[in-house]
Amino acid sequence: MIRRFSLFYAFKTLFSRSGTGAFRHIRGAIIGAAISIIPLVVVLEISDGMMQGIVDRYMEISSFHMQVTLKDKEAVEQEDELLQKIRSIEGVTYTFPYTQGGGILYGEKGRTGITVRGIPDTLFKDDEGFSRYITVKEGEFDLSEPDSLIISSETAQRLKAGVGDEIKLLTAKVIPGRPMLLRPTRFTVKGIYSSGYQELDMLSAFITQEYGEKLFKEDSSRMIGVKIANPHTGELYAIADEIRYLSDGIRVADWEVLNDSLVASLNTTKKFLVFIMILIMGVASVNISSSMIMMVISKRQDIALLKSAGASDSDVSSIFVLTGLFIGICAAALGTAFGIMAAININEIIDFIGAVLHFDLFDADYYLEKIPVELDLFKLSGAAALAVLFAVVASWLPARRAGRINPVEIFRKH
């Protein structure tokens, strides 16, 4: 019976607006705790989407799901046969030969270092994953002409070049026993693209596969790109092992190995942000504790009456612990709801704040142009549960203090 009364009294204390001032303190505690939950929810919901968006772009445009490097001349000579064997493996959706090498792109108004890939002219049409993250800003993604060059909008800005401009690519040719030979090659810009992630865009320019084979004749520059149906599952490793058995002259690396440092950096950043948000929630729980202390002080006479009527120390303490639980539940519900709303509209919020303050909140070099949002009910539930736990823990000391109040002293003073 006493336990039921504790629950009833805690509920009444939470929602009563009587002149004791308790409701004002509780309302402030709920609002403060709810506000502290919002950034945690936003970070949880946008960090995974942002990480996935960045990794997917690298995986589809740069490293591909797997890179098969042809290590020696024998493997290069068997390239067509290797392509057919890889295509016959169950789970493989697309394969293509390409070459890769470094160089310096330069024009009359600028220069920049670049990684150049010689790809089939049908890659943009045939590979859905590749074209999904490539947005053509100017011109066309057209490699039908031998001197065609596709550059990113970031590279075009550095070179101050546009579609139709002539750009030179400076590459180095190593001849055993002779000095390194530098050779410039003329290209015409046919298209300017953006992947939505400038750090990736700064790395890549595309030329025809035939020209790539002429410029980069080293064995290590000849590769086969492989796309599979499920690159985020164990199927990735199984297919990689099958490919390794096809020839001793190849080296196979999956996207996780090729992008290991990137993924590790993004994960570390995410964990650090979540840790900071949890600290903010911890600081907000101090406000709950302060509000509970003020409520205990304002309810001393009521506590004395309850104890004189037979309530034990634990019965009185449970009233305030339950009040803290109610505060946590209300704060978690409000904070999670507003956090979801903020996460869903995060791009609009960032644009609005940037327009008002006249500066960009995020450097586009390190973040996506548009932040993707992925709602995860499990993580939302975890954030809400953590908020409730903090509220209960914060209310425990004030509740313990309330349970130790001596009713005789209270009656003597009042």
Residue 177 Rama label (left phi>0; alpha psi -120 to 50; beta): left
Q: Does 245 map to a domain?
A: yes
| Final residue belonging to a domain, choices 255, 273, 307 | 255
Decide if 33 contacts 288 (C-beta within 8 A).
yes
b/e map 243-262, b = 16+ CB within 10 Å = beebbebbebbbbbebbeeb
Whether residue 268 is found in the same domain as residue 195: no
Give me the residue label for tokens 């309530």: 311
Residue type, 298: S
Co-location of 240 and 206 in the same domain: yes
Structure tokens at 384: 């809400």
Could you tell me the two tokens for 162? Answer: 């546009």
Top-confidence residue, 72 or 129: 129
> Are 142 and 289 contained in the same domain?
no
- 38 and 73 in a single domain? The answer is no
Q: Are residues 40 and 69 in the same domain?
A: no
Q: What is the pLDDT of residue 19?
A: 47
User: Which residue, 210, 228, 255, sits at the end of a domain?
Assistant: 255
Q: What is the DSSP letter of 229?
A: S
Do 223 and 127 share a structural domain?
A: yes
Are residue 162 and residue 18 in the same domain, yes or no?
no
End residue of a domain, out of 233, 255, 277: 255
pTM for the model stands at: 0.74
Q: Note whether 286 and 315 are same-domain residues.
A: yes
Whole domain around residue 269: which residue ranges? 2-55+263-413
Confirm whether 192 is domain-assigned: yes
pLDDT at 396 over 80: yes
Average pLDDT over residues 169-181: 72
Residues 168 and 287 both lie in one domain:
no
Residue-averaged pLDDT of the chain: 82
Is residue 411 over pLDDT 90?
A: no
β-pairing, 111-119 vs 204-208, is parallel
pLDDT tens digits along 22-77: 566 677 778 888 888 888 888 888 887 888 888 889 999 988 999 998 887 777 77
- For the chain, what is the domain count? 2
Tell whether 219 and 180 lie within a shared domain: yes
Residue 60 located in a structural domain: no
Note whether 272 and 134 are same-domain residues: no
405 and 272 share one domain = yes
